[in-house]
Structure 1
Amino acid sequence: MIRYELAGPDLSEVRFAISPLNELTLSLRALRDPGRFPLHLPWLRTVGAADLDRETLLALTNERLWTPDFLNPRPRNPLARLEDELEVVAATPPHRVRGDLDAVHFEGGPPPALSGRPEVVLRRILTALRGYWDACFEPHWQRMRAVLEADIVHRGRMIVHSGMAAMFADISPRVALSGDVLAIRLNTSKVDYRRTTAGVGLTVVPTLFTRNPSTPISAEEPPVVFYPARGLGNLWTSDRPQSPRALRDLIGETRSGLLTLLEAPASSTELAVRLGVTATAVNQHLRAMRAAGLLTSARHGRSVLYLRSDLGDRLISTSSIQVWTP
């Protein structure tokens, strides 16, 4: 059990962030045990054909699917860049590299790919991760980021409407905010500590590669909670949504599809992939639908996320009603 004592359970103490490096590192869990991540199987098939340093990559997790803390640095904001995060990792002191690898492989020690001088091992890890990103992540990152950003917007709305405790409870039954203490129940009893967030705050990070909330192994690390993002079920599908025929006849195939998809927040990039049309065309439709009052929008970082308005909800609902005529 991990307990974070919030210096003040308010918005200034809790920050949301997105981390390309954390996604990259946490995805190694799916490489090691694909059966636990069935929704990622379409993506894992493409990964299987890539030319990667698999020995090094797979050595960065253990049977419990832990990863070294130094490869999961706390992101400072939702706009973190992989290059900046890799620079932080490259500056990791040798004693910490060895200590974190030993903590992950506490039974039997690190495998051969991670044995040797820490400086050499760190360079090998960075090279393997860079190649992994270029081959398997960069082509899909815009789409992945869109899902993560949509989740953060959803969490922000929950905080406004229902409060911080309700937002954390919605993340997982394993997470609970009681007073000023946030408790995270893990799968293992080997990680158990309590620390304050005073002076550093708490960073909350949605990820596509965890089924349960997780935290750093060490109490010395800045307070971070990784949690499963919403919308994963639609991440790798490009099927067109089935919108009501009456709605398609009224506003057209593409716009009816957009209105159907936007039950949850999404960016124009994600929507273009889902519908199989260009981002330019999607943006034109979105602007027109927003002007007509069918959509709302909110900027998050470099993306604009769209969501069906109350009027859009009513149009979908009304169009779905089957009317019999003689």
Structure 2
Amino acid sequence: MIEYELVGNDLGEVRFAISPLNELVLSLRTLRDPGRFPLQLPWLRATEAARAGLPLDLLRALTNEALWTPDFLTPRPYTPLGRIDDELAALTGTPNGVVRADLAEIHPGTLPAVLRGRPDRVLTRVLAGLREYWEACFEPYWQRMRTVLEADVVHRGRVTARSGLAVMFADLDQHVRLEDNVVYVRLRSDLSYRTSTAGRGLTLAPSLFSRRATAPISADEPPHIMYPARGLGTLWETETSTPAIALVGLIGRVRARLMGLLETPTSSTELAVRLDVTPTAVNQHLRALRAAGLLISARHGRSVLYRRSDLGDRLMRGT
């Protein structure tokens, strides 16, 4: 059990962040054991040809049978919306002792051959391999992935505003809870420690590649919880359902389809992908629906996310 003691149970101690590096590294679990990640199989199939030219032995060696990854490769993000170039660059200064210790933590017996050698040279190989992996398998899909992650963060903010921190933490994952001023994260392993967030805060990072909440292996790492993002089941879907005839007659087919998709916050880019239309066309319809009071919008980072308003929900329930 990991225990993070919040100072004063204050919302200011808790913040959300999206890290492309964390997602990149956590996705290596799908390469080792794809059967545990059925919702990512469409992405694995789509990137199969691109992976053929990658150093797969090296990438798979960065996880173990328990699907742990080295802490130094999943650092706590320090900006709400990280950039992969900045996050990879920050890893170049990782001390040799940290590289050696973190790799030994996930491979306590003998290191795989591809991870042996001087730690600085191993680090260089690892970062180069991750860069190749990003460009081949992540960069073409990151906008879509990020949209789902941003929508999750907006949802958590609404839950906190309406129901408070304890409900928000319970909503993250069944293995996370807040009691008094302590956040408890129950892991599969016997690993346990307790540490304070004083002066460091607690960062919550939604992930498309976590099946349950996880935290750093070491108590020396800054407080950080990665948890399964909402909406993963819709990530690779396209919209194929037929809206109700009455609703189509009222607002038109495209706008009716949009209303059906906007139960959760979504960007115009993601809506365009799922409806197979241009972002310009989607934005025109979104503006009209928002002007009619059927949608509301909120900015998160560089994206604007839309969702149905209470009036929009009532309209959908009446169809």
Q: In which range does the TM-score fall when normalised by the shorter chain?
A: over 0.9
Which residue in the other structure is 2:186 paired with? Answer: 185
Q: Deviations over 1:70-116 (max 9, x none)?
A: 0001111222111110011111011111110000111x222011111
Which residue in the other structure is 1:323 paired with? Answer: none
Q: Which amino acid aligns with 2:214?
A: S
Which residue in the other structure is 1:206 paired with? Answer: 206
Which residue in the other structure is 2:307 paired with? Answer: 307
Once residues 194 and 180 of structure 2 are traced to their aligned partners in structure 1, the CA distance between those partners, rounded to angstroms, is 15
Which residue in the other structure is 1:248 paired with? Answer: 248
Secondary structure of 1:282 counterpart: helix
Q: Deviations over 1:153-172 (max 9, x none)?
A: 00000001111000111111
Structure 1: 5+ residue stretches without partners = 320-326
Once residues 278 and 8 of structure 2 are traced to their aligned partners in structure 1, the CA distance between those partners, rounded to angstroms, is 45
Which residue in the other structure is 1:258 paired with? Answer: 258
Secondary structure of 1:297 counterpart: strand
Alignment of 1:232-311 (within 5 A): 232-311=232-311
Q: Deviations over 1:179-202 (max 9, x none)?
A: 11101000000x211100000000
Once residues 241 and 168 of structure 1 are traced to their aligned partners in structure 2, the CA distance between those partners, rounded to angstroms, is 33
Q: Deviations over 1:205-261 (max 9, x none)?
A: 000001110000000000000000000000011133332121122222211111000
Which residue in the other structure is 1:115 paired with? Answer: 116
Secondary structure of 1:49 counterpart: helix
Once residues 100 and 185 of structure 1 are traced to their aligned partners in structure 2, the CA distance between those partners, rounded to angstroms, is 21
Q: Which amino acid aligns with 2:179?
A: S
Within the alignment, does 1:160 sit opposite 2:148 as a pair?
A: no
Q: Which amino acid aligns with 1:81?
A: R
Once residues 65 and 47 of structure 2 are traced to their aligned partners in structure 1, the CA distance between those partners, rounded to angstroms, is 20
* Mapped contact 1:20–1:81 kept (Cα < 8 A): yes
Once residues 132 and 23 of structure 2 are traced to their aligned partners in structure 1, the CA distance between those partners, rounded to angstroms, is 15
Once residues 78 and 31 of structure 1 are traced to their aligned partners in structure 2, the CA distance between those partners, rounded to angstroms, is 27
Question: 1:316 offset after TM fit, Å?
Answer: 1.2
Q: Which amino acid aligns with 2:60?
A: L
Once residues 23 and 8 of structure 1 are traced to their aligned partners in structure 2, the CA distance between those partners, rounded to angstroms, is 31
Which one of 53, 56, 59 corresponds to residue 58 of structure 2?
56
Which residue in the other structure is 1:322 paired with? Answer: none
Structure 2: 5+ residue stretches without partners = none
Secondary structure of 2:306 counterpart: strand
Which residue in the other structure is 2:88 paired with? Answer: 86
Once residues 245 and 233 of structure 1 are traced to their aligned partners in structure 2, the CA distance between those partners, rounded to angstroms, is 26
Which residue in the other structure is 1:225 paired with? Answer: 225
Which one of 98, 101, 109 corresponds to residue 99 of structure 1?
101
* Mapped contact 1:197–1:223 kept (Cα < 8 A): yes
Which residue in the other structure is 2:136 paired with? Answer: 135
Question: 1:150 offset after TM fit, Å?
Answer: 0.3
Once residues 213 and 116 of structure 2 are traced to their aligned partners in structure 1, the CA distance between those partners, rounded to angstroms, is 30
Which residue in the other structure is 2:197 paired with? Answer: 197
- In the comparison of the two structures, how many residue pairs are matched? 317
Once residues 47 and 107 of structure 2 are traced to their aligned partners in structure 1, the CA distance between those partners, rounded to angstroms, is 25
* Mapped contact 1:101–1:110 kept (Cα < 8 A): yes
Once residues 242 and 230 of structure 1 are traced to their aligned partners in structure 2, the CA distance between those partners, rounded to angstroms, is 24
Secondary structure of 2:111 counterpart: coil
* Mapped contact 1:241–1:261 kept (Cα < 8 A): no
Q: Which amino acid aligns with 2:61?
A: A
Structure 1 vs Structure 2 CA RMSD: 0.9
Secondary structure of 1:270 counterpart: helix
Once residues 147 and 9 of structure 2 are traced to their aligned partners in structure 1, the CA distance between those partners, rounded to angstroms, is 28
The percent of aligned pairs where both chains have the same amino acid is 63
Secondary structure of 1:12 counterpart: helix
* Mapped contact 1:298–1:305 kept (Cα < 8 A): yes
Once residues 298 and 283 of structure 1 are traced to their aligned partners in structure 2, the CA distance between those partners, rounded to angstroms, is 14
* Mapped contact 1:244–1:316 kept (Cα < 8 A): no
Flag as ranges the 4+ runs of structure 1 deviating above 2 A: 239-242
Which residue in the other structure is 1:25 paired with? Answer: 25
Q: Which amino acid aligns with 1:47?
A: T
Which residue in the other structure is 1:44 paired with? Answer: 44
TM-score (norm 2): 0.98
